Structure 1
């Protein structure tokens, strides 16, 4: 593959400096092997006590899982275990609490040579983690936080290296900040990574977005340097798209070399030009392309079968991070995680958390951003959500709500549309409860992970759901596989897209009251979501076992066009399954399609069959999906 920029100048010096630092860094001060059990026991006791102080009732399996995680952290810190190990403790069961308790135990037991890094996605989450450490008696002078968020209430200790260093994911993944990897010239004994660890940074932009941006600039500012660059980029891309038809792995592309200073100048112009800055979609597309240029990573042109585009993939996790504990509740359902062969998923007790008191109401309507922003849809969305809120309040006037929306983009302000509609029907969106909590909380997609403080909300509403396009998913698959030549199939891309939707829904739902666990059960909650495909239920079942589902029709938004066809296919599938004798416990998809007389060349029927088989739910239908087929569900009792 052609290198995007020559390894000279500042970039080459930086790479050489990182490699030299890694080679010169001394081995970490390790936890003594004889101290593993005492540290694990102390950390587990601290974590369990803290969880119980906050209203959680711990089951025996819950306590066991906390203890197991603490023992693993101790063994990693001692060097008895190595590598990247993932712990899929369900949301609300104490992953972050366990990490804080581990550090507190290190301090209390006098293991002052053992240095730990904790990485989280957001600075706000790091601030909360620091408060937890202070609450547990860890001195402030031992805790470091480095961030660049202006005006943040979270203290910034800058480049001062501390024994317990808190950093954002970006600083770990960039590999250029020694605070994340070393302390006093030695490797840190342990890195705790909150949420999914991706082994590569990826970026992408669709071909139609590049063409559209180039056409706009050509008509608006034909002589501007950015317009000239976009014209040349479009020409080069067009020449490669045809070749990409026959090279599904992606082909290397060289765009004209642009200095970083020029990239930053163009970004500033985009933000301040009175015409360009008002076109939110254009700004987003231009920034995506310039980000690709600024990353200096090799570029590829790809054709996924569902669209063409430009991608970059760059490995980011430093090899010096040898002992990493990954705390990620979504691991069981996130296909991207499974592509990274360097991560070992540690077994925890099955079904640690039951969702039997959680009710899910899925309205089968298109919930993607583009669908919700088409003509008349913003008003329809506001009315749809207002109807849900009104019905919930009629049953319980004191009920609190957490509503997820898309971020504002141009004139599309989803949260404001919903607030306005609620006010029109007489609902006070600024109301505060007797417990001094806001009755209506609003978050945007991107805030569904790592934020707590919303578990007073017994109703969570997903006003749309974040969906990634084929090109960005293809880039992510390549990055996670560790092979830039990897060729993801259309089926794999679709599977990953679906799993990312499920991951977003699970994490968003887990900000609400179901986060609180009492004796292995999630607290009661009602989840309303807008999504067109009934397969979501099956995708969420592994992480939300026992939740009850209902499919009320949308009141104002148009129903999904897929609903009727998929329902018909499901009915045909169930009729076929009912004809099998009781002793037949499993059937392949191939056999079922043959029995149902489905044309193997009819792509639409194949997709309907896939969706229908994904909707099978054991307690209801007596059958459930298993591998490339179905199996009879186990009878309960």
Structure 2
């Protein structure tokens, strides 16, 4: 009862606050603007969609005014792709500007930042704001690198709206000056004051809100695997001869000291000791750039390993192992730093994939925006068909398959699928960027070449646009060039290294000595990361557009090694229609069918069954007559994602398998030395 009374009093205080009316006025105006704009675009919101837009407009307004401490926080707004996320930001800015004009108080005395990944997206956002009637001089634009069609602005502390790249925010922690460049706002003096000799510096204050588009990971992990550190140390003397003469000894000594610390801590843990915190050797600040330049000359293709050691210099670090069922333990050194400074304590995060991003969930500073937990399905994907094939989709197998002279199933499937798509429909194929290694194939070029050799007109146009587009991961966020595409195909799936994900998990809890056994399993983190990437890539196509709560019709073809990816994607693509990729039926359909039966039968076994002979198991699930080779290939597709291992002639639950689990895939167990 006391708690209820306390909440009632708090609500009463908020309602009595003059800013409460301002919040309501701003949110209502912003919601009205974005709704009208979407209708004008032909994207008519359903009831649930409109409610989500209202919750977003209200949430942004509450955070801007921050009447109570609970409104000043880091909040995630999981608006699905294509439901007006960017236009909500434009409407929010337009409403704030218009109300300020009506009240004779520019921008209602408020200011805010918007951060996005792509600079071109920021420029497009600026263009939309200007089209909405916001004066160009009120919008700042900060970015680094090559100058685009709109150059960066100056005198940005005077501009109520500031558009910045994510990378710029993440670099502000380097110095107080960089931080102030984006956080501090100094309103232009009123004309009545501009002629007076008054020191207006005290009017400078922090900006009220940061709107962050897409995923927010507030930390940056640094890690180097044991094998990479060992290789650097083993070849240190020879490699250091490649460095400029003044730095050869320094480089060799630094590598030796780093490897010594890593090796000692690894051996301690293999001997059964608990992990301990270590500090890697420091490099004088004035030598960091020369070190990196020297390392690049020494690297011969291993620049990342050298650069990582330099980044980690002087940091608190730990050695940790990645433990996965049925696999060898992988070890390495991990450290981290906070990349989005805590000074940004009021952030509205527009993250469409928030529901599956487990790395974000590890950050206790980020919560769901108030009201989103009460919404139903905002956007349904009944009209989207997902054709799925179970199989390898990482960079290495994808490059090998497309570069091979022999006919590969994954390649022939894609070629056959493209050839079967009507000539009047667009096709978007996602694949990997060139890795940078001179022997690696250039997949976009190779895919078009193989399609052309199979008789596909890769130069064809539909209404002046390319019919066949091949895009690389990295462009799956912030680009809307393919909104007319009816067919999206994946020639590979971008996946982060598992040890890298473990390192990021440690960073996200901001505890270098975190108990890794209590963190979210890396397998689950990886699935969420992959699902988020796939969702963004899929949403570049026609299904991005939303009419009456429904995605426009589109077809997707996807290959991935883990069938659980379907469960993850269903959280982001509710009601999507799933089926098997029929191009795989001829060769892979039988194996997939056996694998499905094996997985279902293992899952249905009572928990007290610790093991079962393969012969008895095959009889029970109707696979007695399945050829041994087919059964073995089917098992190979399941081995990494079921809680069982094959030991001799029996299936054994991993929890009972002990040391039998590790050798099953032919890995050497690093713990054997213990």
With the shorter chain as reference, the TM-score category is 0.7 to 0.9
User: 1:160 maps to what in 2?
Assistant: 156
Name the CA shift for 1:320/1:395 in 2 (closer, same or farther; >3 Å): closer
Helix, strand or coil for the counterpart of 2:607?
helix
CA contact (8 A) 2:79 2:351 kept: yes
User: 1:197 maps to what in 2?
Assistant: 216
State the distance in 2 between where 1:221 and 1:559 align: 50
**Aligned CA-pair RMSD:** 3.4
Using the TM superposition, name which of 332-341 and 47-56 deviates more.
Answer: 47-56
Check if 1:525 corresponds to 2:554.
yes
User: 1:79 maps to what in 2?
Assistant: 66
Helix, strand or coil for the counterpart of 1:177?
helix
User: Once the 2 structures are TM-superposed, how far is the Cα of residue 276 of structure 1 from its aligned partner?
Assistant: 4.9
User: 2:262 maps to what in 1?
Assistant: 237
User: Once the 2 structures are TM-superposed, how far is the Cα of residue 557 of structure 1 from its aligned partner?
Assistant: 13
Check if 1:360 corresponds to 2:362.
no
State the distance in 2 between where 1:367 and 1:216 align: 33
User: Once the 2 structures are TM-superposed, how far is the Cα of residue 108 of structure 1 from its aligned partner?
Assistant: 1.3
State the distance in 2 between where 1:98 and 1:375 align: 43
User: 1:115 maps to what in 2?
Assistant: 111
Helix, strand or coil for the counterpart of 2:347?
strand
User: Once the 2 structures are TM-superposed, how far is the Cα of residue 449 of structure 1 from its aligned partner?
Assistant: 2.0
Following superposition of structure 1 onto structure 2, how do residues 221-370 of structure 1 map, counting pairs within 5 Å? 221-222=240-241, 224=243, 225=248, 226-227=251-252, 229-245=254-270, 250-269=275-294, 273=297, 276=299, 279=301, 282-293=302-313, 297-305=315-323, 306-346=329-369, 347-348=371-372, 349-370=375-396
CA contact (8 A) 1:302 1:308 kept: yes
Following superposition of structure 1 onto structure 2, how do residues 168-179 of structure 1 map, counting pairs within 5 Å? 168-173=165-170, 174-175=172-173, 176-179=178-181
Using the TM superposition, name which of 258-267 and 561-570 deviates more.
Answer: 561-570
Using the TM superposition, name which of 211-220 and 230-239 deviates more.
Answer: 211-220
Check if 1:572 corresponds to 2:597.
no
Rg: which structure is higher? 2
CA contact (8 A) 1:47 1:98 kept: yes
TM-score normalised to structure 1 length: 0.79
Following superposition of structure 1 onto structure 2, how do residues 380-399 of structure 1 map, counting pairs within 5 Å? 384-385=410-411, 387-399=413-425
CA contact (8 A) 2:357 2:528 kept: yes
Q: After superposition, what is the alpha-carbon deviation per residue over 1:446-473, rounded to whole angstroms, capped at 9, x for unaligned?
A: 3322222221121112221122223211
Q: Any unmatched runs of 5+ in structure 2?
A: 1-16, 101-105, 187-203, 324-328, 614-633, 644-674
Q: Which residue, out of 460, 469, 473, partners 2:501?
A: 473
State the distance in 1 between where 2:407 and 2:258 align: 38
TM-score normalised to structure 2 length: 0.75
Q: Any unmatched runs of 5+ in structure 1?
A: 1-29, 577-590, 614-637
Q: After superposition, what is the alpha-carbon deviation per residue over 1:206-252, rounded to whole angstroms, capped at 9, x for unaligned?
A: 22122234445544555742455334433332222122446898533
User: Once the 2 structures are TM-superposed, how far is the Cα of residue 326 of structure 1 from its aligned partner?
Assistant: 0.9
State the distance in 2 between where 1:565 and 1:237 align: 45
User: 1:431 maps to what in 2?
Assistant: 460
User: Once the 2 structures are TM-superposed, how far is the Cα of residue 192 of structure 1 from its aligned partner?
Assistant: 0.7
User: Once the 2 structures are TM-superposed, how far is the Cα of residue 340 of structure 1 from its aligned partner?
Assistant: 1.8
CA contact (8 A) 1:118 1:166 kept: yes
Q: After superposition, what is the alpha-carbon deviation per residue over 1:382-425, rounded to whole angstroms, capped at 9, x for unaligned?
A: 98456425534433102212222222121322222212212222
State the distance in 2 between where 1:70 and 1:459 align: 33
Q: After superposition, what is the alpha-carbon deviation per residue over 1:301-321, rounded to whole angstroms, capped at 9, x for unaligned?
A: 221233111221112333332
Following superposition of structure 1 onto structure 2, how do residues 52-131 of structure 1 map, counting pairs within 5 Å? 52-80=39-67, 81-110=71-100, 111-112=106-107, 113-131=109-127
CA contact (8 A) 1:91 1:515 kept: yes
CA contact (8 A) 1:146 1:166 kept: yes
User: Once the 2 structures are TM-superposed, how far is the Cα of residue 35 of structure 1 from its aligned partner?
Assistant: 1.7
Following superposition of structure 1 onto structure 2, how do residues 534-549 of structure 1 map, counting pairs within 5 Å? 534-549=563-578
User: 1:46 maps to what in 2?
Assistant: 33
Q: Pick the structure with more helix per residue.
A: 2
Helix, strand or coil for the counterpart of 2:33?
helix
State the distance in 2 between where 1:374 and 1:395 align: 26
Check if 1:208 corresponds to 2:227.
yes
Using the TM superposition, name which of 170-179 and 544-553 deviates more.
Answer: 170-179
User: 1:550 maps to what in 2?
Assistant: 579
Q: After superposition, what is the alpha-carbon deviation per residue over 1:552-601, rounded to whole angstroms, capped at 9, x for unaligned?
A: 37769996999677424334158x4xxxxxxxxxxxxxx833369669xx
State the distance in 1 between where 2:481 and 2:402 align: 34
Using the TM superposition, name which of 402-411 and 97-106 deviates more.
Answer: 402-411
CA contact (8 A) 1:43 1:102 kept: yes
Provide runs of 4+ in structure 1 moved above 6 Å: 246-249, 380-383, 556-562
Name the CA shift for 1:232/1:125 in 2 (closer, same or farther; >3 Å): same
Q: Which residue, out of 608, 613, 626, partners 1:594?
A: 608
State the distance in 1 between where 2:32 and 2:482 align: 26
CA contact (8 A) 2:19 2:65 kept: yes
User: Once the 2 structures are TM-superposed, how far is the Cα of residue 150 of structure 1 from its aligned partner?
Assistant: 1.2
User: Once the 2 structures are TM-superposed, how far is the Cα of residue 540 of structure 1 from its aligned partner?
Assistant: 1.1
User: 1:456 maps to what in 2?
Assistant: 484
User: Once the 2 structures are TM-superposed, how far is the Cα of residue 485 of structure 1 from its aligned partner?
Assistant: 2.0
Helix, strand or coil for the counterpart of 1:593?
coil
Q: After superposition, what is the alpha-carbon deviation per residue over 1:469-502, rounded to whole angstroms, capped at 9, x for unaligned?
A: 2321122112222322212228612211121111
Helix, strand or coil for the counterpart of 1:592?
coil
User: 1:497 maps to what in 2?
Assistant: 526
CA contact (8 A) 1:107 1:138 kept: yes
Q: After superposition, what is the alpha-carbon deviation per residue over 1:507-538, rounded to whole angstroms, capped at 9, x for unaligned?
A: 11111111111111111111122211111101
Q: After superposition, what is the alpha-carbon deviation per residue over 1:315-347, rounded to whole angstroms, capped at 9, x for unaligned?
A: 233333232211101111111122222222134
Q: After superposition, what is the alpha-carbon deviation per residue over 1:254-301, rounded to whole angstroms, capped at 9, x for unaligned?
A: 333223443323433555x5x955x3xx233333333334xx532222
CA contact (8 A) 2:280 2:315 kept: no
